[in-house]
């Protein structure tokens, strides 16, 4: 189920007919683009450097299945935001009414191994994009300036780690603990500064852990599914009691479209799934669901293997989404049990896609982020 149907999305966009998605070949960005292709007649520009986790297949399939000539209004632009000149040129070509900035290096373990990549993409890349957007915004006529928006999509990890009690909210202080979260915190501050200093009309959102179809198989849920299917050990960090708030990706896209188009300029919205669960319990749930779906006699719980914890591993995340629920009438529809069923079913039907992604990226499920 989704909160936003076709009519509601068209009404939300209003005069915004040219939409630029950065990182549109990634997991969340691709989900946004597929939704826009299916439900609007807007021109959609996908600006992506196309890294190891990027994928065009899902978007290509959506275009093929579409009956509204979507191929004529979708354009892929292979651009690395680290390149200032290419970024400026891409913004000129796209001439957007709305920018949704999802492009980011996002895997914590990889940030431990290669922090420079995260500084380059998440900080310098965001800076270059903001500068290009300033030039674009200044060139617009008064009417287009009224409805132009820059939406920056970020993470709850910028807030650090919670204790046993409490929730992250829009008023929570920043306290990042990993190279990834530090780079995203820096990008949040840049976006906020460009609003107050240069008048760029921005909206910022911080979300909890996303999951669902088409997620690159290095994150916890897809890697657990694949490890089980391959009969391999499932690595669980530390004692497995770290807690996360899980947000189904389609629910997140509803929130993003609402925030991007109706959110108050200069505001921040925290988006959570209201599905807080320990990593160990989540992995056990996946094991039991797959045992049932495969009608297997094997006890997949035996595959769980506790390994050395990730350096600086945040203990608990949980989000208070009351502001976006109150102001924009958003709510997460998908409980984690239902979302896991949908996600597992999808991966079972798309194993070949997973194999192809792993082969292309030269990633075989090995442990990352070990100092």
Measured between alpha carbons, how far is 306 from 237 in angstroms, rounded to an integer?
A: 6
| Phi, psi angle pair for 305, to nearest 5° | -130, 115
Residue 180 a catalytic site member = yes
Residue 269 a catalytic site member = no
What three-state secondary structure class fits 248?
Answer: strand
- Pick the catalytic residue: 157, 250, 254, 314? 157
Residue 157 a catalytic site member = yes
Q: Are 107 and 51 in contact (CB under 8 A)?
A: no
Burial of 249 (0-12, 13-18, 19+ CB in 10 A): buried
Of 65, 64, 21, nearest to 42 (Cα)? Answer: 21
CA 23 to chain centre: 9
What three-state secondary structure class fits 235?
Answer: strand
Instruction: Please state, in angstroms and as integers, the Cα–Cα distance from residue 56 to each residue in 34, 60, 67, 359, following that order.
Output: 11, 6, 19, 15
- Pick the catalytic residue: 86, 109, 156, 276? 156
DSSP 291-329: HHHTT--S-GGGGEEEEPPPTT---B--B--HHHHHHH-
- Pick the catalytic residue: 48, 55, 109, 180? 180
**Which amino acids are annotated catalytic?**
156-157, 180
């Amino acid at each position: 189920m989704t909160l936003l149907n076709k009519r509601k999305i068209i009404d939300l966009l209003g005069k915004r007919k040219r939409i630029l998605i950065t990182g549109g070949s990634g997991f969340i960005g691709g989900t946004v683009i597929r939704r826009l292709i299916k439900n609007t007649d807007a021109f959609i520009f996908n600006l992506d450097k196309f890294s190891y986790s990027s994928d065009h297949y899902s978007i290509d399939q959506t275009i093929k299945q579409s009956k509204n000539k979507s191929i004529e209004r979708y354009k892929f632009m292979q651009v690395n935001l680290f390149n200032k000149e290419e970024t400026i040129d891409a913004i000129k070509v796209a001439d957007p009414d709305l920018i949704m900035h999802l492009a980011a290096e996002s895997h914590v373990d990889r940030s431990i191994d290669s922090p420079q990549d995260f500084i380059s993409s998440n900080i310098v890349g965001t800076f270059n994009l903001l500068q290009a957007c300033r030039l674009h915004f200044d060139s617009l006529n008064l009417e287009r300036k009224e409805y132009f928006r820059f939406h920056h999509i970020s993470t709850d990890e910028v807030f650090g780690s919670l204790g046993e009690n409490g929730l992250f909210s829009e008023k929570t202080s920043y306290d990042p603990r990993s190279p990834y979260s530090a780079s995203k915190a820096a990008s949040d501050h840049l976006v906020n500064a460009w609003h107050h200093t240069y008048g760029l009309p921005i909206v910022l959102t911080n979300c909890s852990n996303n999951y669902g179809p088409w997620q690159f198989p290095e994150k916890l849920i897809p890697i657990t599914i694949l490890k089980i299917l391959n009969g391999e050990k499932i690595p669980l960090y530390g004692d497995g009691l770290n807690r996360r708030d899980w947000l189904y990706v389609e629910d997140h896209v509803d929130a993003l479209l609402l925030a991007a188009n109706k959110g108050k300029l200069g505001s921040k919205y925290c988006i959570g799934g209201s599905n807080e669960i320990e990593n160990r319990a989540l992995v056990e749930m996946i094991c039991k669901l797959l045992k049932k779906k495969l009608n297997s006699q094997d006890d997949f719980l035996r595959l769980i293997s506790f390994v050395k914890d990730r350096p600086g591993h945040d203990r608990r995340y949980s989000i208070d989404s009351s502001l976006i629920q109150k102001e924009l009438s958003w709510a997460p529809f998908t409980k984690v049990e239902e979302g896991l069923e949908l996600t597992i079913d999808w991966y079972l039907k798309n194993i070949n896609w997973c194999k192809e992604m792993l082969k292309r990226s030269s990633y075989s499920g090995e442990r990352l982020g070990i100092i």
